[in-house]
Structure 1
Amino acid sequence: MDLDAFAWLLTDDGQRLLTRATEMTADGSDGKGSDGKGSGLAVQTALRKDESAERVAAAMTQVDLRRKAAAKFGDLAPRMYFTPDGLEQATRLAVAHHRAARLRTFHASSVIDLGCGIGGDLIASSRAGLTAAGVDTDPERVAVAQANLDALGLPGAVTVADATALDHSPFDVAYADPARRGAKGRVFSAEGWTPPWSWVETLFARDACVKVAPGIPHDLVPDGVEAEWVSDHGEVKEAALWSGSLASTARRATVIGDRGLATLASEDDPGAEVGEVGEVADFLYEPDGAVIRAGLVTAVAAGVGGHLVDEHIAYVASSDSFETPFARGYQVLEELPYREKQLKAALRERRVGKLTIKKRGVQVVPEQLRKRLSLSGDREATIVLTRVAGEGTCLLVRPF
């Protein structure tokens, strides 16, 4: 991003150009069209009659990124600014709000974001009433983060600085989101993060929160540090490590949905008491991904009065119907043949034409299987392909 062009975009003239670009692409153009009214090329050609190519490019980039950002930032997106990688790495606003609310619950009043990116977490912290400050080594991201705070009328300070060389002790909480991508793509070794895991561990000596990838191994989490996995509307978005007085359990699964937020902790898990494997019952439950990542499947089993169907598979069976935020529920209608040829015949006999395939613990690619089944009936159905006590099993189910 051209910093001079971005700075100009924040001026009155720049804002008029941005508004004009937004209105001219309101038909849904992605900025890459080649012809037609409102297409990217047509809009850029029109705008370049009055402004330089660099300024027009800056405006069109923001129009495109704001459209993409709506999934993460909702109605705030049209007022915010982004960089492509900054948007990709930014915390979804609902998750950031949960984190900020948790800090307030633990009576924190100030937080420093050590690697603030475009400011997604800063925005949530400031909206929650926390005194929020951010640092980043990238001048572009710092400029965008400050512009976002200003655009939303939020207090907060952002500056270019190296988080690893900063004294963060004056703040109640230190928050960090180490970069897990490098020039060659995703970095899987924690020591390869920026800053590296060895620095992250130093934060755990104080009240801190560190955002990490959902796939973080449990054995990497130090004793006394809480690991929380968070999903938003069924998608696992991140894990967060909480230390000091902010840690309240060993493992936690938090799910965010249309009805609000719910959480399960290690203390809710009876473990081996419901860990026995049993047969498929009238109802099957598919735990949320955050629950699975946190290793709390047996807590879900306890909550629905059920049991595992296989010791290595995250499906729970129960004789009773329950509504739980921690799992998707299905009524088991019947067991169908597991072998493909017999399954195809059974589905055709039931006039199934549209098929949803759920699978866990078996070597099946749903899209490929659906194509091979070549169904053409007038009914819809859902099947679950999994293992029950080690054996491949196909269940015809109805979501509830």
Structure 2
Amino acid sequence: MNLAEFHSEAFQQFVLDHLEEDPALLLLKYQGKTAFDLKAAVHQIAARKKADKKLPSWAQDQRLIFPVSLSIEQSSSEETAKFKAGIQAGGTFLDLTGGFGVDSFFIGRKFQKAIYCERNEELAQVASHNFEILGPGKFHVFRGDGVEFLEKSQEQFDLIYADPARRGKGNQKLYKLADCEPDITANWKLMESKASKILLKVSPMLDISQAIQEIPEIQRATVLSVKNEVKEILLEWTKEAESQELSILAVDLGASEQAFGFSPEEESEAKSLFGEAEKYLIEPNAAILKAGGFKIFGERFSLKKLDANSHFYTTEEFPLDIPGRVFEIIQEISPKKAELKKQFPKGNVNVILRNYAQGANEFKKKFGLKDGGEDFLIGTKSPSGFKVFWCRPVKS
């Protein structure tokens, strides 16, 4: 990568002038007509488009350089990086798997010294350039394997962070920690010996219980979602922790941050009260469902559950400050074409089916429905069998 190219006035002006245009069309229109690398300029335009919502402050900074698209897709968002930055502050921070450098930057600026490691030369070059703009002199860049750096380092770190690569041969997705690169399980004792705290970002598809089996020392697992979509799972270990018992935290970064914490023991000992649907249906946040807080959620908010496997809850009284979506039931509705056509003549209704006789796509195709509008059809199993409820969301 020729960084001098990116600093040329013509290159930067071209990117700035064409940010709203189709990158593919720009390649065709300006091929052979520029004194700079057109492909590199068009790539920057495409990358900024991808980063516009995910990394808004970086996308708006014309001085920054963006890497290949996959690195942007796999990087943390600004929201989730800022959340992680609130977990720890201190003297020295080490990122073993720096990548694009988003987490390195947001976490590292809370520390007196921040070290970024990355084996990919181009990514390390991009990150080094961006760090000097965002935090001049703050970040130390090591271009090489983070585990090798750690093995040779004589330092003790307040925080060691890693986001192991989760794609195998043929772009296969990997969900066990031992299958990722680097293998955190094989290097755990090394990390533990040189850190006061370890923070791992792992796949949202990871089975938390499987991760704890692989690394029993983990003390906290945080399921992090943004606007009710699970984005990542964070695993924490602290040397001086008051308790070595596992705690689970489900956090949603929506309009307002919602958090729901529990222990595996609390979930195991909680009792579910089952019943037919009352005035309101409640769907817990996606982070809570991923975290497995099924029984404790109902018990803590005094809710009845429709079925052990439905994960919909109900109450007669409006639930305040609940970490989930609340729907008011208009009526139970018969899943027959004539009835659905009568109630939704244009076919616009949002469909949620869980623990139901068929899937949502099959249901919509069968009855000529498409998601849209304010109304919802929620299908699930209750004590008396499969039911479909016509509902409208209510703001908590």
User: TM-score if structure 2 supplies the norm length?
Assistant: 0.85
Any gaps of 5 or more consecutive residues in structure 1? 34-38
More moved, 264-273 vs 316-325: 264-273
Query: How far apart are 1:116 and its partner, in Å?
Result: 0.3
Partner of 1:329: 326
2:341 paired with 1:348? yes
Partner of 1:139: 121
Q: Is the 8 A contact 2:282 2:325 kept in 1?
A: yes
- Compared CA separation, residues 60 and 380, structure 1 to 2 (3 A): closer
- Compared CA separation, residues 300 and 41, structure 1 to 2 (3 A): same
2:364 paired with 1:370? yes
What are the equivalent positions in structure 2 for 1:298-313 lying under 5 Å apart?
298-313=295-310
Partner of 1:29: 21
Query: Aligned with 1:337: secondary structure?
Result: coil
Q: Distance in 2 between matches of 1:325 and 1:380?
A: 21
Partner of 1:36: none
Query: How far apart are 1:352 and its partner, in Å?
Result: 4.1
Partner of 2:249: 252
Partner of 1:151: 133
Q: Distance in 1 between matches of 2:51 and 2:344?
A: 42
What are the equivalent positions in structure 2 for 1:78-89 lying under 5 Å apart?
78-79=60-61, 80=64, 81-89=66-74
Partner of 2:81: 96
Q: Is the 8 A contact 1:18 1:63 kept in 2?
A: no
Aligned mate of 1:391, from 354, 375, 385: 385
- Compared CA separation, residues 85 and 42, structure 1 to 2 (3 A): same
Q: Is the 8 A contact 2:176 2:211 kept in 1?
A: no
More moved, 164-173 vs 221-230: 164-173
- Compared CA separation, residues 130 and 258, structure 1 to 2 (3 A): farther
Partner of 2:156: 170
Partner of 1:208: 198
Query: Aligned with 2:302: secondary structure?
Result: coil
2:70 paired with 1:70? no
**Identical residues among aligned pairs (%):** 20
Encode CA deviations 1:119-141: one digit per residue, 9 max, x unaligned. Answer: 01012124445532110111111
Any gaps of 5 or more consecutive residues in structure 2? none
- Compared CA separation, residues 357 and 126, structure 1 to 2 (3 A): same
Partner of 1:182: 168
Q: Distance in 1 between matches of 2:141 and 2:39?
A: 25
Query: How far apart are 1:148 and its partner, in Å?
Result: 1.9
Query: How far apart are 1:393 and its partner, in Å?
Result: 1.5
Query: How far apart are 1:310 and its partner, in Å?
Result: 1.0
Q: Distance in 2 between matches of 1:245 and 1:374?
A: 57
Aligned mate of 1:219, from 206, 210, 220: 210
Query: How far apart are 1:309 and its partner, in Å?
Result: 1.2
Query: Aligned with 1:184: secondary structure?
Result: helix
Encode CA deviations 1:347-373: one digit per residue, 9 max, x unaligned. Answer: 223244211101112353434432432
Encode CA deviations 1:22-80: one digit per residue, 9 max, x unaligned. Answer: 23323x223112xxxxx44214443x2x23xxx22222211110111112111322333
Provide the alpha-carbon RMSD of the alignment.
Answer: 2.6
2:275 paired with 1:278? yes
Amino acid paired to 2:254: G
